[in-house]
Structure 1
Amino acid sequence: MKRTEVSFDIETIPLTIRQFINGATIYDSSCSEHAKTLFVSGSERAFLKISKRGTLEREYHMTKFLHQHNVAPNAIAYESDLDYDYLFTEAVSGEDGTAELHLENPRKLACVFGEYLKMLHSLPIEGCPYGNRTHELLNDAQINGIDLNMLNEFSYSAIDNVVIHGDYCLPNIIMDHFSFKGFIDLGYGGVGDRHYDIYWGIWTLNYNLKTDTYRDIFLDAYGRSNIDDDGLNYFTKLNKLTD
């Protein structure tokens, strides 16, 4: 994760968050055009994410929920003004899944990546603030003009029955030499269908490792008995239709 020291006018952010970063050294670690992410090194080691108003509320609530299960950092503060959302989250020690020390051992990476997804999907769904993620995904697809009848070729009914990450990609898991530290960037999560995350796990391994060689290691580590081939094909097609 690249970090570039920057000057930052803390007077532009809400007072409740300003108190945490007064006197801190600020680094830009943004990796998305949709949000600015700042690493704060001071009395708190944390990340401040700034994005369009209304876009970070879900991430805040999902991070708080999963922090209760010790699989996500603590969301310290969330505020909004007329234009922007501000999410202040503790920094988890370690590196994300795209760090060189992880990519240089792709077999182990694919294995633990599958194991940690199985761990996430094994969490209790009670208390999750977003309980119908699959319905949301299908509804969004219809709004965007996708004919869901194209999915009828699969003998599968998508369901909401596990806690999903919603963007299960290598940059969104923090590890310390493969030891799990936490999931981040949880703004697409909720109770949904496991095959949605499994699809993205396969996609990111192929994208970041430049090969599909490690697909089976990932699926074996997750547990083949928990994977419905039609379910995986269903979400593979859905994601390709909505690209």
Structure 2
Amino acid sequence: MERTEVSFDIETIPLTIRQYIKGATIYDSSCSENAKTLFVSGEERAFLKISKRGSLEREYKMTKFLHKHNVAPNAIAYESGLDYDYLFTEAVSGENGTAVPHIENPSKLACVFGEYLKMLHSLPTEGCPYGNRTNELLNEAHIKGIDLSIMNEYNYSAIDNVIIHGDYCLPNILMDNFSFKGFIDLGYGGVGDRHYDIYWGIWTLNYNLKTDKYKDIFLDAYGRNDINDDGLNYFTKLIKLTD
């Protein structure tokens, strides 16, 4: 993960977060056009994410929820200002799934990537702040003017019954030599249908490894008995229509 030391005026951020970064060295660690991510190295080793107002509340709530299950970092503070949201989370040790030590062993990577997804989907859903992820996705499709009757070609009814990440891609899992450390960037998560995450798991392996040869390792590690082919086809179609 590239980090570039930057000068940063801490007076521009809310007081509740300013107290944590006073005197710290700040590095730009952004990897998205939608948010500025700063690595804070001081008394706290943490990340400060800054994005448009209202855009980080879900990530904050999902991170707090999953931290209680020891699979996400601690969300230390969240503030929503006039123009921007500010999310301050602890820095978890380890590197993401695209780090060289992980990519250099693609078979092992695909295997643990499937195992850790199954672990996430096995968590209890009670207390999750977002309980209808599939309905949200279908509503988004409807707003975009997509005729959802075309989904009837699949003999599958999408359900909300597991905790999903919502953006299950290799950059969003932290590991130390394949040992799980935490899930990050949880702003699309909630209680949803497992096949949504499974689709993105297949996609990211293809994209980051530049081949589809590790798909079966991933699916075997997740557990074929819990994968419905029609369900996977359903979400493959839905995502391609809405992405």
Normalization by structure 1: what TM-score? 1.00
Partner of residue 78, structure 1: 78
Query: Could you give the per-residue CA deviations for residues 68-112 of structure 1, whole angstroms, max 9, x where no partner exists?
Result: 000000000000110000000000000000001100000000000
1:102 aligns with 2:114: no
Query: Could you give the per-residue CA deviations for residues 134-161 of structure 1, whole angstroms, max 9, x where no partner exists?
Result: 0000100110111111111100000000
Shift of 1:124: 0.2
1: CA distance, partners of 2:221 / 2:2: 30
2: CA distance, partners of 1:94 / 1:147: 43
- Amino acid of the residue matched to residue 95 of structure 2? E
Partner of residue 242, structure 2: 242
1:211 aligns with 2:211: yes
Matches within 5 A, 1:126-145: 126-145=126-145
Partner of residue 162, structure 2: 162
Shift of 1:49: 0.2
Matches within 5 A, 1:191-210: 191-210=191-210
1:180 aligns with 2:180: yes
1: CA distance, partners of 2:178 / 2:91: 17
2: CA distance, partners of 1:3 / 1:152: 47
Partner of residue 42, structure 1: 42
Query: Could you give the per-residue CA deviations for residues 47-78 of structure 1, whole angstroms, max 9, x where no partner exists?
Result: 00000000000000000000000000000000
2: CA distance, partners of 1:233 / 1:215: 15
Q: Percent identity?
A: 86
SS of equivalent residue, structure 2 residue 171: helix
2: CA distance, partners of 1:178 / 1:208: 16
- Amino acid of the residue matched to residue 92 of structure 2? V
SS of equivalent residue, structure 1 residue 152: helix
Shift of 1:24: 0.4
Shift of 1:31: 0.5
SS of equivalent residue, structure 1 residue 163: strand
2: CA distance, partners of 1:101 / 1:203: 20
2: CA distance, partners of 1:199 / 1:148: 19
Shift of 1:239: 0.7
1: CA distance, partners of 2:113 / 2:164: 14
1: CA distance, partners of 2:37 / 2:22: 17
2: CA distance, partners of 1:216 / 1:179: 21
- Amino acid of the residue matched to residue 29 of structure 2? S
Structure 1 residue ranges without an equivalent (≥5): none
2: CA distance, partners of 1:83 / 1:89: 20
- Amino acid of the residue matched to residue 237 of structure 2? K
In the TM superposition, structure 1's runs of 4+ consecutive aligned residues that sit over 2 Å from their partners are none
Structure 2 residue ranges without an equivalent (≥5): none
2: CA distance, partners of 1:107 / 1:146: 37
1:63 aligns with 2:63: yes
Matched residue pairs, number?
243
1: CA distance, partners of 2:101 / 2:215: 20
Shift of 1:195: 0.1
Shift of 1:186: 0.2
